[in-house]
Structure 1
Amino acid sequence: MTVLTHTRITPPLAHLDDLFPFQRDVFNTCMDYADNARDADAFNAAMAIAAKAINVDLPTSGCIVKCACPNCYSCDAIFDSASPGLREVEPSGPYNLPRYQCAACTDSHPAPHED
């Protein structure tokens, strides 16, 4: 008998769809800058501005991300990249953004290799 355990779901910092259009634009622009950063200073600055754009303090991990669920493509959760229960969807380089499913999507959707 297989027993599946569910991850402990940490509430997201914000939801992209709940932001004002200007906040979404600033957040998305900063996330693009962070994803293309060539050094730690540029990455850290982009993360700090992205956090301020959505009115949250930058977590101690120094990295916030939007859910990159490859199954639903509709999750708008923004969360700390060090939150428990995340599943890596795509590896990242030294300063590029990691791609994670949020804990809720991890519980709801099987991993691509588990399909």
Structure 2
Amino acid sequence: MGHAVMTHTQTQSTVNYTHLPTGTQDLFDQLMEQADNTASNTEYTALMKALITVTGITGVRHGEILKCACACDCPAIFDADAPDALVTEPATGYNLGRLQCPDCADDHPQPVTD
């Protein structure tokens, strides 16, 4: 009798934007811009699902990903609900705020100015 082997999928919570093929980068940029400008929660959710699929990120907590907004031009695309991410610009007037990925937030944080 054979035994089934269960493999555990490793979570890929961060993807390097520059490692994506050019066409995928273009699609990511288009989808992210649409998500940033939509007024429809249904469309926003669908766009985020598409973005997660396109990038291959897994283990996203609440269905949102962002590209790091650090001034160092960090290429990380990451789970927007990462516990160590740092808000650099809160969401106002559009759907997406700007966050630094956890690595940038740890290496060179830039706090929100009031």
Interval of TM-score (by shorter of Structure 1 and Structure 2): 0.7 to 0.9
State yes or no: 1:14 paired with 2:30. Answer: no
Q: Look up the match of 1:3.
A: none
Q: Is this contact kept in 2: 1:65–1:81, CA < 8 A?
A: yes
> What amino acid does structure 2 have at the position aligned with 1:49?
A
Gap change, CA 1:12 and 1:77, over 3 Å in 2: farther
Deviation at residue 22 of structure 1 after TM alignment: 0.9
Q: Whose Rg is larger? A: 2
State the number of aligned residues.
102
Cα distance change, pair 94–42 in 1 and its aligned pair in 2 (3 A): farther
- Equivalent residue number for residue 69 of structure 1: 70
Secondary structure at the counterpart of residue 106 of structure 1: helix
Identity of aligned residues (%): 34
TM-score by length of 2: 0.78
The answer as to 2:77 corresponding to 1:78 is yes
Q: Kindly indicate whether structure 1 or structure 2 has the higher relative contact order, using CA contacts under 8 Å at least 6 residues apart.
A: 1
Which ranges of structure 1 fall in alignment gaps of 5 or more residues?
1-10
In 2, the alpha carbon distance for the partners of 1:44 and 1:12 equals: 18
RMSD: 2.2
- Separation in structure 1 between the aligned mates of residue 61 and residue 74 of structure 2, nearest angstrom: 24
Normalised by the size of structure 1, how large is the TM-score? 0.78
For structure 2, the residue ranges without an aligned partner over 5 or more in a row are 1-11
Residue 6 of structure 2 corresponds to none
Deviations 1:61-107 (A, max 9, x none): 1100000013x1x2000100111211101011486112100111111
Q: For residue 106 of structure 1, what is the amino acid of its counterpart?
A: A
In 2, the alpha carbon distance for the partners of 1:58 and 1:43 equals: 19
- How far apart are residue 111 of structure 1 and its match? 2.2
**Offset of residue 18 of structure 1:** 0.3
Deviation at 1:55, TM superposition (A): 2.4
Q: Which residue of 2 aligns with 1:87?
A: 86
